[in-house]
Amino acid sequence: MSQIYLSAKLPELGTKLLKESALDYTVYEGDRLITKKELIEHVASCEVLICPLSTIVDREVIDAAPKLKLIANFGAGFNNIDSAYAKEKNIYVTNTPVISTYATAELTAGLIIALSRRIVEGDRLMHEQGFDGWAPLFFLGHELKDKTLGIIGMGQIGQALAKMMTAFGMKILYYQRHRLPFALEKQLQATYCSQAELIQQADVLTLHAPLTNETHHLLTSETFEQMKNSALLINAARGPLIDEQALLQAITTQQIAGAALDVYEFEPAVTAGLKEQSNVILTPHIGNASVEARNDMAEIVAKNTIALFAKQPIHHIVNP
């Protein structure tokens, strides 16, 4: 068995670096996601597990890998790994932070524009039946200029998005537990307010908060009742931030005007009923799915693996 196991194929840059360092590795070659049984079989004697967000590394998996020293997660999040238990077993867990910033902010900006101007609806119409021609009241959307963008979670992604959408003439409100320094607020042209105020005032509400016990179901039926009937909701952060059943109710009763989701509460499953809504855009968790971002992520996990065997410092440890 190999020293290193990859539970999914990486961009070529990652495996190229491992080859150049003469490290022994094995890659899962299946066409579907790896099963837990397959994962347990392959980690039995490995020292490093490189895995994507879709690979669940729980206590059972960790206990099946007595030689494991490093779990290198291919993603900024690491909710798929029991990092606290890994720490008990003296196993490092690393992630690939910051790299996803611009790719995810760009996707979020794209979803905001597409939802506001009904681009996906229009594409579907033209593919299926076409239209009779230009008409003054046909297929109206809304401009973003002078609208209020509410950002919950003003980390790197939230800040990058604020810069992008300011260029569209949007007013920026944000909320998170810790307020940004005044100079940075000024630079971003962003105004801090309470979460309740933000939810009530936002024309577009976008989530960029981490998933914790406190943020699970951050948006519920009560939250949607507080939003504008014309408001749009974007989630390219973590699926369980939203109670999707409550979202479906809010969409079907026109409590809000539309939503765009790149992540899902029960991913990869989508809550029944959402697919049938014409004012809901669904994308398959592609926030950081750019060639540039994925190459950078592959470089991080490969270099951390190389560093472990070379007894050099490992970066981006999430369970120090």
Report the catalytic residues. Answer: 238, 267, 285
Strand partners, 148: 171
* Contact between 46 and 65 (Cβ < 8 Å): yes
* Contact between 202 and 233 (Cβ < 8 Å): no
What token pair was written down for 285?
């968790």
What does the alpha-carbon distance between residue 154 and residue 229 come to, in Å, rounded to a whole number? Answer: 24
Both ends of the chain: CA-CA distance in Å? Answer: 28
| Residue whose entry in the numeric block shows the structure tokens 């109206």 | 140
What does the alpha-carbon distance between residue 1 and residue 243 come to, in Å, rounded to a whole number? Answer: 43
